[in-house]
Every structure is written in C-alpha cells, then in structure tokens.
Structure 1
Amino acid sequence: MKTGSQTTVEPIGKYQFMTAIILFEIGSTPMFLLGRDAGQNAWMSMAVGAAAGFVVLLMCLSLQRLSGEQDWTEMLLRRLGKWAGGSLAMLYAILFAYESMRNVRDFGGMANGTILPQTPIWIVMLIISAIACYGVAKGINVLFRTIELFFPFVALSYFTIILFFIISDLPDSHRLRPMLDQGVGQVLGHALPELISFPFGQVFVFLLFWRYAKDPKQVVKVSMTAYGIVSLFLTAMSVLTLSILGPNVAKLVSYPFLEAVQLIHIADFLERLDIFVTLIIFLGLFVKLVVFYLASNAVLCRVAGLSWRAGAIILGPLIFAASFLEPNQTFHIWLGLKVQVKYAWIYQALVPLLLLALTMLAIRKTGHVRPKEEV
C-alpha cells in the first residue's frame, strides 16, 4: 500500500467543530420517526440510542486522545501495519463513500417527492454531486466554514417550527400513552443496535477530523456538548412528532415530521410550511453527504498517495454512479433503515474498540504512543 500525505489543513476552531457535529448528526433524521415500531415509546428508543451512542463517542474521544495527532487512517496503519491497516483503511474509504452515496440518493428522492416532482431524479443527484465534489476539492477548511454559516439558519428554522407547533396547539400528551406498555424490552429492542448505527454512532467519522482542532484540549468538551444538544433535540422531535400524529398514523407515512408540519395553520394564512422544512432537511442532507465524502477522500488520499483534489475528482463520479445501484426509493429506504443499521455498528464501534484496546496495550508496553515517523 502506498501512503501519501494530505493537503495542508488550517486548524479548525471549536465553534466550527460544534456546528459540524450538530448538523452532521441531525442530518435528515427528524424527517423519519426512528424506532417507530416501538409505537408511542419510540421517543424512549431514541433516548436509549443516544445514550448508547454517547458510549461510542467517549470511546472515540479516548482513542483520539491516546493517539495524539493521528487520524483514523494513521491509527489503522500504526496498529495493524502497512498492508493490513492499509487494506482496512481502503475498506473504510469505500464505506464512507457508500454513506455519502446514500445521502445523494436521499437528496434526489426527497426532492423528487416534494418540491421537484417533474424534475428527473438523476438531474437533482447530478447537481448535488457536482456541488459536493467542488466543495470537497476546495478542502476541509472551506466546508467546515460553510457548515458554520448554515448553522444559525437551521437552528432558527427548527426553533420556529417548534414554536408554530405549540402555537397551533397540535401536541397532545395523551398520544404518548400508555408508556412502556410492552415493557423495557420493546424500547431496547428497537434502539439497539439500529439507533446506534443511525444516527448516533456516525459521530465516529470525526476521528478523521479531530486531529485538526485548533485547541486539542477543547475537543472532548466541544464534542460532548454538541452530542448532548443533538441527543436532546432528536429526542424532543420524536416526542413532538408522536404527540402530534400519534403512533398509528406515524407508522403509516413515509415522512412523519413532514406530515406533522403540514398540520400547522395559524390565523388562516400561515400554512404549507412543508416546503420550508424540506429545504432545512436538504441542508442537513448536504452536510452529512459532504462530511462522509470528506472522510472517504481523506482516507483515499492518505493510503493511495493521491493529491486532495485528484481524490475528490475520482470519488465524485463514483459516488454519483453508485447512487443508481438501488432500483427505487422504497428499496433504498428499506436497505438503509432495516438492513444496514443492523450491521453498521461493527465498523462504527467494534473496530474502534479493538483499536483502542491495541493502543492501550501498546502504551502499556512501550510507555508512549509510537511517533508518526515510524510508519
């Protein structure tokens, strides 16, 4: 395996990291009622998934702290060797590209089903893929600054929607009852491992970026704060959606949150906010798309010895082409929310856990982490 160095990256500030983690973790998650099979207890499954994901976050932060300025690719190369580590790293590059592809397909499917029903889906996906490719080619700093600019708009928009829900008197706590009617097992069964895999365990991807923090001492605090905000927000959105639609209706519709927003009517003139919400979701999808794209490119460039721009240009068409492998949107959603989530925890949590164990053993044996020059 040929190894190469990445392009120079300016230090990333703590606010940029916080906004990136928040928007990345939120993504399109509010649009779906995750754990909906748990009925009115779906919000509890979300809370359990968040708690389990927090353990994954702590594990990843511990691995980063022990590994110093290494990123995930360098950790694999140093602990597993040039060939085994490099091969596994390339597998991660493919997995990250696959995750990016899923968001391209989500973008196209959602646009085609909401605001652009007459536009061929491939045109939407081509445009968003080209924008993402251009952004990734510009580098990590450009995209992290762009995400920072998105954050105030997204935060204000969600706050406004929640306020409109309350003003419209849509939430009804009776729809959340009875609680735990089938016991704790039902909640746990629909939370683990699915809600670790999506969305909470996906925070693992920041092992590719934490090394660039302007103040490494702030990484733990910033990441945990951002994760806490995301956990509370997503759990609250689950509570709102369930309390507005009820568990029976929420199970039947493709996008429960969008269905809830369509019920907002204020003073006989403020309505049809679903288009506005769709635009917010698009921003979340774009953030998740480019972060996975960035991660895939970072691994590819490091292992294959490519320049940053060359890697981005190679990956872009591949991600776009792969988005057509799934025959339709129904299959795409089934594959992501029913199949992939059962196994994604393996590369998000299990492999990092094994690497953490190897790192701790190496530190105990040598008394320090091996310097970067050894590889």
Structure 2
Amino acid sequence: MSSPNVETSTDRVGKYQLMTAIIMFEIGSTPMFLLGIKAGQNAWMAMAVGAVAGLLVLVPCLYLQRLTGDTDWTEMLLQRLGKWAGGLVALFYALLLAYESMRNVRDFGEMANGTILPQTPKWVIMIVITTIACYAVRKGIFVLFRTIELFFPTVVMSYTTLVLFFFISDLPSVHRLRPILDKGIGQVLGEALPELISFPFGQVFVFLLFWKYVKSGTGFVRTSLAAYGVVSLFLTIMSVLTLSILGADVAQVVAYPFLEAVQLIHIADFLERLDIFVTLIIFLGLFVKLAVFYLASNLMVSRMTGLPERTCGWFLGIVIFAASFLEPSQTFHIWLGLKVQVKYVWIFQMLMPILILALTLISKRRGQASC
C-alpha cells in the first residue's frame, strides 16, 4: 500500500503553526453558540468543566503519539487491530471526519444565508466554500497550516477588539452571573458531560493525523497542551462575557447569543452594527474546522486506498458537498449535532485512542520481555 504524497516532503509543521492550528480549529464557530446554556447563568462553569474533562481525550492521544513516533492514526489502527479490523475501523473514522466536515459546510451555508448573503442560494455558498476547502486540502497539510497561521493574527485582533468594545459600551454586568450554583454542581456537570467533551474539546483527537508531521525537537506535547489551555481559557471567558451581557434568560432563546451581544455594541453614535464583522470572523473559524476535518479524512482515505491525496480530495469533496443536503432543515441539523451526536461521539474520541494506547503499551512490554 503506497504512502500519501505528503510523506515524501522534507517540509515539516513548525511549533507556531501547530499551536495556531489547534487554537483556530478548537475555537471554530464555538463562540457563536453558548454551550451548556441549560445550566443558566452557570453555563460558563459547564464550559470550564468540559475543558478540564477534555484533557481525558488530549492527554492519552499525546501519550500515544509519543509512544508510536512517526506514525499517524491510520497506521496505529492497522498496526494494532490488523489489516481487516483496523481497516474497517479506519474507514469508519474517515467517514466520521468527513461527516464532521460536512456539518461545518452546512453551518457555513446556513449562517451566510441567514446573515450577510440572504439573497444568495444556500447551495451556491456551500459549493463555493467546499471548492475552496478542496483546493486547500489538495495542496496538503503544510499549505493549509501556513494558511491558518496567516489567519491567526486577524482573529486574535478581532476578538480582542470586540471584547474591548463590550467594556467601552458598558455592556457586561456581573449581576447577570448570579446566583452561582443555585441548583448545585450536579446541573453544571450534567450539562458539561459528555456533551462538551464531544464538542468542542474532544475534537482535538483529529490531530493524531497531523502530529507526526511536526518538526522534531519542537515539543509537540507542550505546544499542544499550551494551545489547548489558551482555547479553554478563551472559550470560558467568552461564555462569561456573553452571559454577563445578555443574561441566561435571553441567551437561551436566541439562535446565536454571541452575535446578539455584539449587536448591542454602541459607541459615540457612530460605531454600531458590528454583527457583519463578527460573522466574518466566525466564517474564518468555520473554514478552518471544515478544512482540517476534510484533510484528516482525506489522509485516511488516501492511505487506505493507496490513491494520491489529490485524487481522493476531489472525490471526498463531492461526497461532503452532496451529504450536506441530507439533513432536511437547520432545526434538524442543530438537533442532530448538539443534542444527539454529542452524547455518543466522545466514545470514538476518547475510548478508541485509550484502547489503542493500551494495546501499544502491551506490545512494547512484550517486545522488551522477549529481548
């Protein structure tokens, strides 16, 4: 079985590129939704708990990558489960990653159609973004990660500016965050687990497809943990801000709480209506997320079939675009993703890597014993 084209490259992913990729990927469109809102004004605590629990996905994945060295998730599955069982599991993961990419394509189309491009047919928006992602994926991991690196300063400056504007407009109020834990810690844990592990924190498992391409000596473990810490802190702060501006009652009934909060910014009778600005930032996050999932799925399909990545990229792009129309409505799309999928996908994000890690440890110990 021939290896993907990317392995022939002498180029490697740098420390800063890895950090920006993890941060941009994990953030994605998450700030737009106030996750854990059923916990009311304690939703920010649910986000923090989810971030800590997400380490149960990240740490085993990092340990597994350190043990296996220059291999990716597809190779790990084939080595530990065998050609047929490992191949079937790898195929499932390739489809799961393509499905996750499809969800972001659908999110992109729905959000663009409902905000800045209401007169444009949704399918036109979705085919354009899928084509752009396909082009980036066919260029390979190094081009995509460099592109994300270029996006990063713009996103950082934009979110920093918005937070500053919130305070200049005197919108946050600590009173909207009270009472704290009025229904006990159980409500917070119930909202955080397992949903917030599955999305967004557990999705970091996808980097099992990319860590092998990081430059040696860059400390990918420390870099990944640092990036994850930044994401956790950022998402928790954004939850606090959104709740302190809107309050739990309003945040529970609007479709996009963060966008609603941004629309309240009003400075000196001339700076207002920044919702288009923040929508563009979210679009960058959505593109990064759909492209990373797309690339990860493409790498797995290419390795399993032996076909060139560029060939697989076109085929997979057609599948992702076509599948984005399978869900009959936006309501169904959100229900399936945020109510159903999140209850089960953590199994594949956490338990399977832990299983492969256990098999790897057993194999290494047997190898040492035989020596």
1:128 alignment partner in structure 2: 129
8 Å contact 2:172–2:245 — kept in the other structure? yes
**Cα shift readout 1:205-246 (whole Å, capped 9, x = no counterpart):** 000000001125510110001000000000000000000000
Q: Distance in 2 between matches of 1:218 and 1:134?
A: 30
Query: Aligned pair 1:281/2:282, yes or no?
Result: yes
2:306 alignment partner in structure 1: 305
2:320 alignment partner in structure 1: 319
**1:4 offset after TM fit, Å?**
2.7
Residue ranges of structure 1 left out of the alignment (5+ in a row): 369-375
**Cα shift readout 1:157-183 (whole Å, capped 9, x = no counterpart):** 000000000111100000000000111
Q: Distance in 1 between matches of 2:184 and 2:217?
A: 43
**Cα shift readout 1:28-69 (whole Å, capped 9, x = no counterpart):** 000000000000000000000000112211110000001111
Alignment-mate amino acid for residue 137 of structure 1: R
2:94 alignment partner in structure 1: 93
**Cα shift readout 1:102-135 (whole Å, capped 9, x = no counterpart):** 0000000000110001111000000000111111
Alignment-mate amino acid for residue 98 of structure 2: A
Alignment-mate amino acid for residue 153 of structure 2: P
Q: Segments of 4+ in structure 1 off by > 4 A?
A: none
Match of 1:6 among 4, 7, 31: 4
Alignment-mate amino acid for residue 36 of structure 1: I
Query: Aligned pair 1:24/2:25, yes or no?
Result: yes
C-alpha change, 1:120 and 1:150, in structure 2 (3 Å) is: same
Matches within 5 A, 1:285-296: 285-296=286-297
Q: Distance in 2 between matches of 1:108 and 1:200?
A: 24
Please state whether the residue corresponding to 1:325 is helix, strand or coil.
coil
Q: Distance in 1 between matches of 2:218 and 2:277?
A: 38
C-alpha change, 1:212 and 1:250, in structure 2 (3 Å) is: same
Q: Distance in 1 between matches of 2:125 and 2:14?
A: 33
Alignment-mate amino acid for residue 325 of structure 1: L
Please state whether the residue corresponding to 2:234 is helix, strand or coil.
helix
8 Å contact 1:35–1:45 — kept in the other structure? yes
Alignment-mate amino acid for residue 138 of structure 1: K
**1:363 offset after TM fit, Å?**
1.0
Q: Distance in 1 between matches of 2:121 and 2:299?
A: 32
Alignment-mate amino acid for residue 66 of structure 1: L
Alignment-mate amino acid for residue 209 of structure 1: F
Residue ranges of structure 2 left out of the alignment (5+ in a row): none
8 Å contact 2:97–2:297 — kept in the other structure? yes
Number of residue-to-residue matches in the alignment? 366
2:353 alignment partner in structure 1: 352
8 Å contact 1:14–1:215 — kept in the other structure? no
8 Å contact 2:56–2:350 — kept in the other structure? no
Alignment-mate amino acid for residue 5 of structure 1: S
Q: Distance in 1 between matches of 2:55 and 2:255?
A: 28
1:46 alignment partner in structure 2: 47
2:63 alignment partner in structure 1: 62
Q: Distance in 1 between matches of 2:237 and 2:56?
A: 20
Alignment-mate amino acid for residue 107 of structure 2: D
Query: Aligned pair 1:234/2:235, yes or no?
Result: yes
8 Å contact 2:175–2:244 — kept in the other structure? yes
Q: Distance in 2 between matches of 1:115 and 1:217?
A: 41
**1:296 offset after TM fit, Å?**
0.2
Please state whether the residue corresponding to 1:367 is helix, strand or coil.
helix
Alignment-mate amino acid for residue 358 of structure 2: A
Q: Distance in 1 between matches of 2:51 and 2:232?
A: 6
Alignment-mate amino acid for residue 32 of structure 1: F
1:111 alignment partner in structure 2: 112
Q: Distance in 2 between matches of 1:172 and 1:180?
A: 18
Q: Distance in 2 between matches of 1:279 and 1:169?
A: 24
Q: Distance in 2 between matches of 1:304 and 1:343?
A: 28
Q: Distance in 2 between matches of 1:141 and 1:68?
A: 19
Q: Distance in 2 between matches of 1:59 and 1:357?
A: 10
Q: Distance in 1 between matches of 2:2 and 2:52?
A: 37
Alignment-mate amino acid for residue 2 of structure 2: G
**1:186 offset after TM fit, Å?**
0.3
Query: Aligned pair 1:219/2:217, yes or no?
Result: no
8 Å contact 1:68–1:211 — kept in the other structure? yes
8 Å contact 1:137–1:312 — kept in the other structure? yes
Q: Distance in 2 between matches of 1:257 and 1:4?
A: 46
2:36 alignment partner in structure 1: 35
**Cα shift readout 1:52-97 (whole Å, capped 9, x = no counterpart):** 1122111100000011111000000000011110111011100000
1:207 alignment partner in structure 2: 208
Q: CA RMSD in A?
A: 0.9
Alignment-mate amino acid for residue 231 of structure 1: S
Query: Aligned pair 1:159/2:157, yes or no?
Result: no
Q: Distance in 1 between matches of 2:276 and 2:218?
A: 41
**Cα shift readout 1:255-310 (whole Å, capped 9, x = no counterpart):** 00000000000000000000000000000000000000000000000001110100
8 Å contact 2:14–2:218 — kept in the other structure? no
8 Å contact 1:13–1:215 — kept in the other structure? no
